[in-house]
A and B are shown apart, each in its own frame.
Chain A
Amino acid sequence: MNTWGRKLFGFFSSLKLAVFLILSLGTILAVGTFYEAEYGTPAAQRVIYKSWFVSLEMMLLILNLACAAMDRYPWKKHHVGFVITHAGIITLIMGSFITQQKGIDGNIALGVNEATDNFFVSDNELHIYQSIDGRPFALLVQTPVDFEGHPPGKKKYEYKLADDDVINVTQFIEKASRKIEVTEGSASGHDPNPLLPALRFKLYNDRVNVTEWIGLDKQLPPFFDLGPATVSFIQGPLPAVPTPRNQIVIYQPNPKSNLLKYAIYSSRQLKAVKEGTVDLKSQVPTGWMNLQFSVEEYFDHADPKVTYVEADPDAKETGPAIEVAIKDNHRWFELESPHEIKGPQNTYFVSYTRKKYELGFALLLKKFKMATYGGSTLPASYESTVGVDNKYQQVISMNEPLKYNGYTIYQSSFETNEKGEPILSIFSVNFDPGRPIKYAGALCIVGGISIMFYWKPKYTGKKANKGSA
């Protein structure tokens, strides 16, 4: 070895580097825990624990541990513990690395008597298909995307398709809320997909005030569900109502004329309690809870623009959404809500979706039970009885996972309805090829430290003064 090599080896095998790495790793991780308390677990995982600098620390640590062990070669008896421990740490980190690269962590949510043979992971993918009649036809692009870690502003997401069409992902919102703007379009401009009618209604009393667009266009909801009441918009004659409930049906008896009529139903009878012709902006009492109803706007050829904005921090049930552009056409896609986008040459079908894996067997939830400690509401156990491939059944509970086909399936949580009854059992699914390696490393570490502890007095304990103080 030349002097430079020797110097470098000396640096990487030095105890001083070890102490520096230990202390800096400790500091970074400590910062990470406070970051997590402030910004939540996913943010801390992304920004700190799974960052390049923690990986770099780990790699330097491996190098340091390996060089330090080699430096003492040929090993003497008192090196045994030291070498085993260092080899153990290296093995453990390697095992974790394999887990990170090859391991799969996913989720399954099943209602009782539901079955599945696949599961989702938290990684997302972008799928682009050629579209025929609004349906996916040929898969053109399938690629993993990490918009949280690498937002579109910082990384280019560009996909070249046939006939010089290029699709770009231009925006990403992690917690997005939907915003609809509707304008009056022309009657003929958008063939072969003509613009369809839409209306904006208002429903209010002293506590509720709702204004929403409903319409026949696919981008607009056809009805609005307020909870105790619904408002819907249809074309054609007034249909028969199957069950009594509070609802307002606005209908257009003749598609050629823009005359609108309404019918108000109550939850007590099948017949409409009130019918009439819609007069824009005029209030109609509904008869339920002092609610007043009015149609604020109506467009024969409504041109809806759906955009997404950052949701309120407290808003519930928000998800990620991306804006996709092809030439000048921009459209938004929510996770798991695929639809079309038109390009200058072709129409495409875009799906922003979680990555899916096959289980290789069918998992059926037969029963879910949440037991409580007697006389209290404190949960004592969560148990899912599952059937595997119709062959046998097993109970999955906390500390009792199911192992099958290389996967381990754990009871992770559950969801309840408003009455507090469990309706969904949620499992986590795990495949971890690094597990045996990690366990071997762990065993070496503990064994090695024990040996070191045993050997230590041989050379530092000599100076210890025996006898009373």
Chain B
Amino acid sequence: MKSLALLILFFGIKTFAVDVTSFENLAIQDGGRVKPFDTFARESVQLITGSQTHNGKKATEVVLAWLIFPNQWNEQKFIQIKNLQLKNELAMKVADNFISPMELVHNNKLASEMTALSHLEKEKKKLNPYFQAIQRVNNQLSLYNEIITGMGIRLVPQTLSPDWLPLSDLKGEYQEGFGSIALGFVTAITKEDIKPFQRAVLKFKELAKASAPRVYPSDASLQEEIFYNQTHPFRIAYIVYLLSAIFFAFALNLPKKLFLRKIALVTAFTGLSVHISGFIFRCYIAGRPPVSNMYESIIWVSLGCVVFGLIFELIYKRLYIGLAATGVATLGLIIGDSVPAVLDQSIRPLEPVLRSNYWLTIHVLTITLSYAAFALAMGIGNIALSYYVRGIENKNREKLQALALFVYRAIQVGVLLLTAGTILGGVWADYSWGRFWGWDPKETWALIADLGYLAVLHGRFTGWLRTFGTIAASVTAFAGVVMAWYGVNFVLGVGLHSYGFGGGGVHYVTAILIVQLAYVALAGYRHNQHLVVNSKMTGN
């Protein structure tokens, strides 16, 4: 046994890769949903190690290794810690990002902090970044524990109960069945023979299926979700959008405009079709419109932004709009893809109050679609501001007037959608909570954002906002959207929309907002300089 352990230490952890494709195709019940093991493994390895693969190994292989050789893994440093204060408490070096389960379990300080955390949670207090990090370690450790004990790995459905049986409760042929999988896994590593493993997995799957044939998902549907996991459609979409944005930018600045515009448009539509396919795929897997958390809403808002942008671009034939739309969508999707610790990508079941596809679709999609229109206005606004910053506004007066008009139109679309969406939210709230309007922070911020843009629309009527004013205001007013969309859930954290609450990223969002406002201020300063020069010229 000792020699086996040594072997595993050398081969199991370090080098040899086992082909675990067959195991990825097993169904598992986790987090209130039945999914392919691949999805469970990716989500688990992501949470525990901070990445979907570990040392180049596929998530499923990593989870199986944890499960089958817990003693070896308990000493390995693979649990990701990012918070500096927590690293300090755990006596980690600042440069180290990983710690072993044993070190965590034997840390007395952490144990007392976890008790403090449970008190905070019981009192429903808001958590500061340090306690958010403690909460994450807690989740990482308990998930790891559920995996190595088999209590969190529910592979066998039952006919009499909706709960699937976890590995730890398996008996008789099921227990033996999983035992031969484990043996097969060891054989695969020690003898480099994968066949016994694959045979055992297939046999186990038949057993599990036979246990409750009606409940067990079809191979096709498991395959589809694995395909979705592997393709990362939104990652492909933003790469294509980025290309399109580059073509639009070239078209703006180079000769052969018409030709380049065509290429940019074709690329944008390609990106859009990948984006839409991914969106529909996710709807299909989740069985509902994917708009229940921040990650899903970013995907949807980016989609809306491209759709609006391309419609405007086709009507007005202005390259700026295409550039703004693809640029904003690229940024949005990159943000969505790159901070999985803050923006949870996993598909989760809905809270009871959200379980109404009808309302979820019409209320949330309408509201977030308005964010898309405002994001487009913000994108166009930022492009327009660059003319002021570069000090070439006089030469581009007509261009800027046109840009201000597009901004205005995009804001109009946004105001229509946000007003309608907020009212629909009121109707839903009336239907579900018993009141139309209750000054809940999410409602209130939707209204504040709407008021901000209404002020822009009315300000243009009064003549207070001319070309520069409209453009600058369209960018500034987006702060209201950021607050309604992100701030209420991640900063305020109060009110009835608690199902979308999360934490993290506050510093980044604040920094981006400050940079954005500084950019507007700089443009305003340059614009003022021009006004002074212009009036002197006309004065002379």
Closest to A33 in B: B441
Please measure, in the bound complex, the distance between the C-alpha atom of A15 and the C-alpha atom of B456, giving whole angstroms: 12
Q: Which of B302-323 contact A (CB under 8 A)?
A: 316-320
Given A399-B353, A430-B434, A430-B435: A461 and B441 interface contact (C-beta under 8 Å): no
CB contacts (< 8 Å) of B359 on chain A: these are: 399
Does A322 belong to the interface (CB within 8 Å)? no
Pick the contact of B416 from A18, A19, A450 — CB < 8 Å? A450
The answer for the CA separation of A105 and B433 in the assembled complex, in Å, is 11
A contact residues around B252 at 8 Å (CB): 469
10 residue pairs A–B, Cβ–Cβ below 8 Å: A23-B451, A26-B451, A410-B433, A430-B435, A442-B423, A449-B419, A449-B420, A466-B317, A468-B257, A469-B317
Q: How far is the CB of B354 from chain A (nearest CB, A)?
A: 9
Q: Which of A374, A399, A461 contacts B32 (CB 8 A)?
A: A374
A49 to B447, CA, bound (A): 13
B405 CB–A CB distance under 8 Å: yes
CB distance from A30 to the nearest CB of B (A): 5
Which A residues, 1 to 43, have Cβ-Cβ distances below 8 Å to chain B? Answer: 15-16, 18-19, 22-23, 25-26, 29-30, 32-34, 36-37, 40-41
> Cβ of A372 < 8 Å from any Cβ of B?
yes
Q: Is A45 an interface residue (CB 8 A)?
A: yes
A446→B423 contact, CB < 8 A:
yes
Min Cβ gap B319→A in Å is 5
Say whether A74 faces chain B, with CB atoms less than 8 Å apart.
no
Interface-lining segment among A145-153, A230-238, A376-384: A376-384
| B-chain residues with CB within 8 Å of residue A36 when the two chains form the complex | 441, 492, 494-495
Cα separation A324 to B136 with both chains bound (whole Å): 51
The answer to whether A401 and B412 touch across the interface, beta carbons within 8 angstroms, is no
Residue of B nearest to A446 (CB): B420
A428 to B408, CA, bound (A): 43
List the interface of chain A (C-beta within 8 A of B): 15-16, 18-19, 22-23, 25-26, 29-30, 32-34, 36-37, 40-41, 44-45, 48-49, 96, 99, 105, 314, 372-376, 378-382, 397-399, 401, 408, 410, 412, 428-430, 432, 435, 438-439, 442, 445-446, 449-450, 452-453, 456, 460-461, 463-469
- Contact: A435 with B432, CB < 8 Å? no
Which of these, B164, B423, B462, contacts A375 with CB under 8 Å? B164
A429 to B437, CA, bound (A): 15
Complex alpha-carbon distance, A244 and B258, angstroms: 94
Alpha-carbon gap, A48 to B438, bound state (A): 12
Specify the chain A residue showing the minimal Cβ separation from B406: A464
Q: B355: CB under 8 A from chain A?
A: yes
Q: Is the CB of B447 within 8 A of A468?
A: no
Q: Among B257, B415, B431, B445, which residue has its beta carbon within 8 angstroms of that of A401?
A: B431
Q: Are B439 and A376 in contact (CB under 8 A)?
A: no
Contacting residues, chain A, for B415 (C-beta < 8 A): 449
**Which residue in A372, A378, A429, A465 is a CB contact (below 8 Å) of B402?**
A465
Verify if B17 is at the interface (C-beta below 8 Å from A): no
* B44, chain A: closest CB distance, angstroms: 15
Query: Of the candidates B317, B462, B492, which one forms a contact with A33 in the assembled complex, judged by CB atoms under 8 Å apart?
Result: B492
Contact of B454 among A22, A30, A375 (CB under 8 A): A22
On chain A, the residues within 8 Å of B433 by CB distance are 410, 412, 428
Tell me which residues across on chain B come within 8 A of A450, comparing CB atoms.
Answer: 416
Give B339-367 interface residues, CB cut-off 8 Å to A.
Answer: 349, 351-353, 355-356, 359
Interface residues of B in 264-294 (CB under 8 A from A): none
Which residues of the partner chain B approach A18 to less than 8 Å between Cβ atoms? 458
Known: A22-B458, A380-B349. A374 touches B163 (CB 8 A): yes
**Inter-chain contacts of A429 with B (CB < 8 A):** 434
Near A by CB (< 8 A), chain B positions 456-501 give 458-459, 461-462, 464, 480, 483, 488, 491-495
State the CA gap A18–B483 with chains docked (Å).
23
Docked complex Cα distance between A460 and B408 (Å)? 10
- Whether A399 and B432, one on each chain, are in contact in the complex, defined by CB atoms closer than 8 angstroms, is yes
A99 to B430, CA, bound (A): 12
Cβ-defined contact, B495 with A41, below 8 A: yes
Assess whether B209 is interfacial by the CB under 8 Å rule.
no
- In the complex, the answer to whether B352 meets A381 with C-beta atoms within 8 Å is yes
Contact across chains for A19 and B492 when beta carbons are under 8 A apart: no
CA A438 to CA B435, docked complex, whole Å = 11
Q: Which residue of B lies closest to A456 (CB)?
A: B412
Q: Of all chain B residues, which has the CB nearest A16? A: B462
A445 touches B423 (CB 8 A): yes
Set of chain B residues within 8 Å of A314, measured between Cβ atoms: 123
Contact across chains for B455 and A469 when beta carbons are under 8 A apart: no
Distance between Cα atoms of A26 and B349 in the complex (Å) = 35
For B488, list chain A residues within 8 Å (CB).
33
Residue of B nearest to A441 (CB): B423
Bound state CA distance, A113 and B434, in angstroms? 24
Nearest CB of chain B from residue A211's CB, rounded to whole Å: 26
* A354, chain B: closest CB distance, angstroms: 18
B residues near A105, Cβ cutoff 8 Å: 434-435
Residues in B neighbouring A37, C-beta threshold 8 A: 126, 441, 491-494
Chain B residues whose CB sits within 8 angstroms of the CB of A412 once the complex forms: 433-434
| List of A residues within 8 angstroms of B352 by Cβ | 379-382, 397-398
Quick one: CB contact mask for B415-451 with A, threshold 8 Å, 1 for yes?
Answer: 1100110010011001111111101010011011001
Considering the complex, give the chain A residue whose CB is closest to the CB of B494: A37
- In angstroms, Cα B431 to Cα A463, docked, is 45
Residues of chain A lying within 8 A (CB to CB) of residue B327? none
With A23-B455, A453-B412 as known contacts, state yes or no: A15 contacts B461, CB within 8 Å: yes
A30 cross-chain contacts in B, Cβ below 8 A = 445, 448, 483
- Complex alpha-carbon distance, A450 and B412, angstroms: 9
Q: How far is the CB of A26 from chain B (nearest CB, A)?
A: 4
**Partner pick for B439 among A45, A452, A460, CB 8 A cutoff:** A45
Closest B residue to A372 by beta carbon equals B32
Report the minimal beta-carbon distance from A357 to chain B, rounded to whole angstroms.
15
Question: Is there contact, CB below 8 Å, between B405 and A375?
Answer: no
CB pair B432 A398 closer than 8 Å: yes
Contacts of A19 in B (CB 8 A): 455, 458-459, 462, 464
